[in-house]
Amino acid sequence: AQTVTQSQPEMSVQEAETVTLSCTYDTSESDYYLFWYKQPPSRQMILVIRQEAYKQQNATENRFSVNFQKAAKSFSLKISDSQLGDAAMYFCALFGNEKLTFGTGTRLTIIP
Amino acid sequence: NAGVMQNPRHLVRRRGQEARLRCSPMKGHSHVYWYRQLPEEGLKFMVYLQKENIIDESGMPKERFSAEFPKEGPSILRIQQVVRGDSAAYFCASSPREGLSSYNEQFFGPGTRLTVL
């Protein structure tokens, strides 16, 4: 079985500041992928960033970057220069054994 | 290329009625996944289908729930005799081919919010 744990139900950050969302996981698969999804109030699931487990280099997408620590099974998301539009639920997810397993989410609030 | 479409977006049913949720995958995608999101929770895998085949239904409740993906037409998630605990958002995702040893991105639909009165 694979599990994803997000230990921060809520986080807040001042606009333009940096925030890091935590995620740990467990899997017996050797080939897997990790993701961060954003879910705004519209409920649409939006892919923010992905990381292939076999790649050592941390993924980056504009203001979003990850810190992937494979041995520690940790996959945190850093959002730089936070914007009001970043306010949403953020879900960490793992793809292995042909299915996505999601964490329980972190609600991110941006303080103007 | 239209995205994944789900309908209806909102569905209200009374206890004991049937709910039918539809998912039209992106053009060229032959694999469909269904997920359920209970209030204040993450998405949970229910079932993985390819056309005319159920590949993995390990997340489906044993009773009242069924899913199909016929050769023609949308994928259907069917819930018989709904109860209040079935109230949730149901998301469909599609991907272009089997996962095998590598990942094929799943594209999510907007979800169907089911409310059971």
The pLDDT value given to residue B1: 55
- Chain A residues with CB inside 8 Å of B98's CB? 98
B5 vs chain A: nearest CA distance in angstroms? 12
By the 8 A CB rule, do B31 and B81 touch? no
* Residue A100 to residue B106, Cβ atoms within 8 A: yes
The beta-carbon neighbor of B56 closest among A31, A43, A98 is: A98
Positions of E strands within chain B: 5-7, 10-13, 19-24, 31-37, 43-50, 53-56, 65-68, 75-79, 88-95, 107-108, 112-116
Residue type, B88: A
Find the distance separating the first CA and the last CA of chain B, reported in whole Å.
37
**Beta bridge mates, B67:** B77
Given a cut of 60, whether residue B7 has pLDDT beyond it is yes
DSSP 8-state secondary structure symbol assigned to residue A16: T
Share above pLDDT 70 across residues of chain A, in percent, rounded to a whole number:
100
Helix (H), strand (E) counts: chain B: 0, 11
The pLDDT value given to residue B101: 46
Write out pLDDT tens, residues B56-88: 999 999 999 999 999 999 999 999 999 999 999
Write out pLDDT tens, residues B8-18: 999 999 999 99
Write out pLDDT tens, residues A6-55: 999 999 999 999 999 999 999 998 889 999 999 999 889 999 999 999 88
The beta-carbon neighbor of A43 closest among B42, B89, B106 is: B89
C-alpha A35/C-alpha B113 separation (Å) is 24
Give mean pLDDT, residues A73-77. Answer: 97
Dihedral sign from CA coordinates of A7, A9, A13, A19: positive
By the 8 A CB rule, do B48 and B29 touch? no
A65 vs chain B: nearest CA distance in angstroms? 19
The pLDDT value given to residue A31: 84
